[in-house]
Structures are given as C-alpha cells and as structure tokens.
C-alpha cells in the first residue's frame, strides 16, 4: 500500500467530505453530485468507525470518547436524512437545504476536532498492521452494507448545538 497511516487517511476523508458539501453550497456545476457522493462517503466512513474501529478503541479504555462519537454520529446521520428528504421534495438548492448543510458542516467540524486528536492517534497502538492495511483498503473501495444505519441514528432529534 502507501506510507499513509490509517489516521491520515481518515482525516483526509474528512476533508473530502467537507469539500463535497461546500461544492453544493457554493453552487458548483457538479455540486449536487458531489454532495450526494460526500453523503455516501460520510455514511461509509461512519460504518467503518462504528463497526471496525470503535470496538478496539472501547476495549482499550476509550469508552467515554467513543460514546461521544457515537452520539454525534447519530445526530449527523439524522441531518443527512433531513437533507436527503429535502432534496427529494425540492431538488433545486434552496435556503432550507443550505441551512441543513451548514448545520452538518458545523457538526462535522466540532466532531472532527475531537476525533482526530483524541481517537485516531490511538489506532496505531491498538490495531495490528494487517488490520490497519485492511481498513485502508476499505477506504479505497469498500462499501457500506445496504440498509446499515449508525448505532444512534434513531436516538431522537439532533441537539440544537453540535457542542452539546
């Protein structure tokens, strides 16, 4: 593979997701397609974390940070659902959909600001090299199973603030 660590690849994916959402908000010609791709990438990213990365982190004593990440995943998943529902009703960009996308970006920024410095550095000491390589490969071409939703997706409406 490459010399890229799993943590670096996960962080790079965070930036790709943000860029796809910004493309939509900026009215780029391919903004809608990039938004949809970013949403699928985010859902797959959450799948990888919740199914493969969070269990060993929990086992290593990172229960509280993982709990926070799961809660925030659930809130973001609900915003993703809200944007997708809004786009089904009105495919053209509008202020309501843009507001939801900005809310999602705010949540992602707060989430990533905790996840990247707290959880990702721990992966190197917890995962075997072969597991890290397997997850790097998943980032390249893996798919989230049809119908899979994050653990906290149905935990109630998102809080009004991504900080709370």
pLDDT for res 92: 77
Show the domain range for 72: 6-141
Q: Is residue 158 part of a domain?
A: no
Note the pTM of the prediction, 2 decimals.
Answer: 0.90
pLDDT for res 162: 41
- Extract the residue ranges of the chain whose pLDDT is less than 70: 1-3, 155-164
pLDDT for res 161: 40
Q: Is residue 160 part of a domain?
A: no
Q: Which residues contact 7 (CB under 8 A, 6 or more apart)?
A: 116, 120, 121, 123, 124
Over residues 52-85, the pLDDT tens digits come to: 999 999 999 999 999 999 999 999 999 999 999 9
Spatial contact of 32 and 43, defined as CB atoms under 8 Å apart: no
CATH of the domain at 65: 1.20.120.520
pLDDT for res 155: 53
Q: Is residue 62 part of a domain?
A: yes
- Cα–Cα distance measured from residue 83 to residue 77, given in angstroms and rounded to the nearest whole number: 10
What does R_g of the chain's alpha carbons equal in angstroms? 16
Q: Is residue 131 part of a domain?
A: yes
pLDDT for res 163: 36
pLDDT for res 90: 82
């Amino acid at each position: 593979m490459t010399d890229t660590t799993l943590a670096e690849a996960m962080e790079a994916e965070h930036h790709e997701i943000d860029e796809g959402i910004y493309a939509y908000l900026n009215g780029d010609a391919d903004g809608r397609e990039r938004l949809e791709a970013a949403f699928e990438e985010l859902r797959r990213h959450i799948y990888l974390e919740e199914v493969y990365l969070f269990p060993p982190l929990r086992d290593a004593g990172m229960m509280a940070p993982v709990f926070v990440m799961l809660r925030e995943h659930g809130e973001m998943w609900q915003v993703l659902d809200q944007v997708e529902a809004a786009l089904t009703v009105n495919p053209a960009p509008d202020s309501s959909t843009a507001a939801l996308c900005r809310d999602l970006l705010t949540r992602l920024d707060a989430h990533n600001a905790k996840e990247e410095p707290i959880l990702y550095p721990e992966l190197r000491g917890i995962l075997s090299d072969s597991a890290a390589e397997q997850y790097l490969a998943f980032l390249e071409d893996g798919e989230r199973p049809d119908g899979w939703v994050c653990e906290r997706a149905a935990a109630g409406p998102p809080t009004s603030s991504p900080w709370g």
